[in-house]
Amino acid sequence: MAQGDEREIAAAPTATTLAALIDAAKVDKCTHCGFCLPTCPTYDQLGLEMDSPRGRIYLIRSVLEGRTQPDEQFRRHMYRCLECRACETACPSGVPYAAVMEQARAVYERTGARARWQRWLMRLAFEGLLPRPRRLRVMFRLLWLYQRLRLDDALRATRLDKALGRMGAMANLLPRIPHPKLQDDLLEVTPAVGERRYRVGFVSGCVMKPMFADVNLATVRVLTQNGCEVVTPSAQTCCGALQIHGGARDTAEALATKNIDLFLGEDLDAIVINSAGCGAALKEYGELFPHDPLRRERAEEFGAKTRDITEWLDEIGVTPPTHAIDRRVTYDDPCHLLHGQGIGAQPRALLRAIPGVEYVEMPEADWCCGSAGIYNVVQPELAAGILERKMPHVASTEADIVATANPGCLLQLRAGVRDAGLSMRVMHVVELLDWAYTGVEPYSTRADA
């Protein structure tokens, strides 16, 4: 075995390990009826039973029963899943598929064999970068400089992005990074405009804060316009969503505990977030503590207070915007918002409430775009195939603006629009609302975005 391919071999899974990590009752809910198959993007792309929700659950059950081990084949099929959760919407038996998948990946990460460089890279991302704002700040300052020097344009012009593989794919997904100092405009406490009706906490996100500082600021402005005093604790940390999806359960538990203690220590009416994937993880923090009743209770209290920004605005009754936006607008459902949180009508209602907007529904708006956290980086070929199915539907709307509500979807759809040569802009729902309140066009509609 070559030195670069050395693998760390963990202990074989024991019955105790499996029982601690995988909830067999959740697995046993699956009756293998097959209703999930037409909803699964990877089954649609590959046509393989083991790359369907039903097939993956079969593999998980075989590991639970000791018939197979969490080996390379197990890893391949588990990590090909986008966790888009469309199968949960379709499932007549109520299988909590995402929870099962996250548990299965945790089993692999604790007991499977990975190349040492892969484990090192995962630790770097999940522990050494995402929960460390100072390091993220330095990284995004360098990325901002890289874009200002037009090195990104040079990379594409020389087609070096193709030669760089996954690194090139990551570079092509980057949005135009806002000035690094913009995130400093996000205050610890922002007062409501006019009478204070609510006091809410805002989860600013580990990557959202530097990469989409403009979206965060738009979110706070929209909240304050709707009578909310906004508390954005500077001590908050990464929500742990990517760690949960990547099987790094111990790290996710530590991050969740810090956020739970911090936000529940404030007197808040709600905890608001503008990232659909992170929001689904926050609402399901209780799943991280199945064997600790006290921590689970606090996690569930935290989850019950958590609201997506579109959900919260719809719940409290949005203040009517006054500035018209004379644009044709369509909406693409983030999977973790629609399938993970059951939120689909609210963003559409908010868009329709904006004066001047001509809203048009997108065909297959509920089909995954292929982003899925970091899926478009670690599974670029599959992600590209899934996006390829999406883009003709996007184009058919002839919209000026494609709205969505998740950072990964923003990146993936912007790349799709750019590569398809479409003149559309892709932006967060809350940016449109902020535009309608302030009359100032958001950063993402400008020519340099």
Helices (H) and strands (E) in the chain, counts: 25, 11
CATH architecture of 320-445: 3-Layer(aba) Sandwich (3.40)
Per domain, the residue ranges of the chain are: 14-113, 119-173, 180-314, 320-445
- How does residue 428 score in pLDDT terms, banded at 50, 70 and 90? very high
What is the tens place of the pLDDT at every residue in 197-252? 999 999 999 999 999 999 999 999 999 999 999 999 999 999 999 999 998 999 99
Window from 104-108, 367-371, 373-377, 390-394 with minimum mean pLDDT:
373-377
pLDDT digits (tens, 9 = 90+) for 254-268: 999 999 999 999 999
- Whether the domain at 14-113 and the domain at 180-314 fall into the same CATH topology: no
Tell me which H or E stretch contains 404. strand 401-404
Residue 156: pLDDT over 80: no
CA distance 13 to 167: 34
Which pair of tokens denotes residue 112? 């499977």
Structure confidence at residue 1 as a pLDDT band (50, 70, 90)? very low
* Distance, CA of 333 to CA of 313 (rounded, Å): 17
Is 27 or 170 the better-scoring residue by pLDDT? 27
At 111-148, the pLDDT tens digits run 877 778 888 888 888 998 899 999 999 999 999 998 88
What is the DSSP annotation of 99-163?
A: HHHHHHHHHHHHHSEEEHHHHHHHHHHHTTTTT-HHHHHHHHHHHHHHHHTTHHHHHHHTTHHHH
Predicted TM-score of the model (pTM): 0.91
Query: Using one digit for the tens of pLDDT, what is the confidence trace for 269-289?
Result: 999 999 999 999 999 999 999
Whether the Cβ atoms of residue 421 and residue 428 lie closer than 8 Å to each other: no
Instruction: Output the CA–CA distances (angstroms, integers) from residue 349 to 102, 311, 405, in the order listed.
Output: 32, 10, 14
CATH top-level class of 180-314: alpha beta
Q: Are 225 and 437 in contact (CB under 8 A)?
A: yes
- What mean pLDDT, rounded, does the chain reach? 91
- Residue 268 three-state SS: coil
CATH topology of domain 14-113: Fumarate Reductase Iron-sulfur Protein; Chain B, domain 2 (1.10.1060)
